[in-house]
Amino acid sequence: MLTHARRAAQPIPAPLRPESDNRFRIGLAAGVRFSAVLVLAVSAACARAFVDTIPPAPIVLAAMTWNTHSGRGDLPRLVADLERGALIPRSDAYLLLLQEVAADELEAVAQPRRWSLYFVPVRGVEGRIRGNAILSSHPLRDRRTVPLPRERQTRAAATAWIDVAGHPLFVASVHLENRVSWWKGGLFSDSARRRQVEGLLRALPADGPGILGGDLNMWLGPGESGWQALTRRFTDTPAWPRPPTFGGRLVLDHLLMDLPDGWRVTRQVVPDDYGSDHHPVMALVVN
């Protein structure tokens, strides 16, 4: 757990250990063709994910980020498991930051529960419009779309505000670029993500409590300049996680936190992928 402290961000620890650094995993394949690297990352069987200890204090907010893999993931089953206490102790405050989701999939979950949602369409996938979304059991306000610098594909973040335990928090769901063209570095360049992170941070509040979640596609690990910029802004973010969230090997999905004073957070990678190629990542916030 982390306790909020208003302090200067600390540098990323060094050296990075192979078991926690995506650069080590990708670097093993540097001598082979890129296609082999991609097959290794995508086709690897999903290992059962590690789950942190659930905090003993009452849960103020259960926040989750999840890439639904263009709707292949079973969102209704995931939400039902949350509500019945199968994943964590029950809470009355749920926040889901989703990627590659469609509007009707969100409405099917939100309407029966009278939850609040905000959907930002990004592009067509297999004949359907998909994008990023915020789904919340608490009302959303000041909803806004944040276009990101165009690299290889159109990208945009969904942002809004919620009130939790008397505190306003801004929340954002984002899906960053996974690669650039070969002449710009391909999979082994983080320049596109760095520019998109810079654009996102310019659009978000410069200080104050907030939660950012998404598929950040940071293949190269915590040394990426975009990750370092994010953790300087979101100072309550737990350290780079050990358990993989994609393909049984890579850590691509993250929740970043800047919390009110005295709030604490613990993070989990949910063992079940619910039919997606990404595992949901959950943060439990206690006061």
The tokens 């604490």 sit on which residue?
264
Q: Please list, residue by residue across 180-216, b when 16 or more beta carbons sit within 10 angstroms of its beta carbon and e when fewer do.
A: beeeeeebebbebbbbbbebbbeebeeeebbbbbbbb
Q: How many CB atoms lie within 10 A of CB 159?
A: 26
Element (H or E) spanning 87, and its range?
none
Q: Per-residue confidence of the chain (287 residues) as pLDDT tens digits?
A: 444 433 333 333 333 344 445 544 444 433 333 333 333 333 333 333 333 455 567 899 999 999 999 999 999 999 999 999 999 888 889 999 999 999 999 999 999 999 999 999 998 888 899 999 999 999 999 999 999 998 888 999 999 999 999 999 999 999 999 865 444 445 556 888 999 999 999 999 999 999 999 999 998 999 999 999 999 999 999 989 889 999 999 999 999 999 999 999 999 999 999 999 999 999 999 98
Measure the N-to-C terminal CA separation of the chain; round to a whole number of Å.
Answer: 11
pTM above threshold 0.75: yes
Q: What are phi and psi of 107, to 5 degrees?
A: -65, -35
Domains within the chain, CATH numbers bracketed: 17-286 (3.60.10.10)
Q: Is 136 helix (H, G, I), strand (E, B) or coil?
A: strand
Q: How many CB atoms lie within 10 A of CB 171?
A: 25
Sign of CA dihedral 166, 164, 283, 238: negative
CB of 220 within 8 A of CB of 26? yes
Q: Which two tokens stand for residue 31?
A: 């001598």
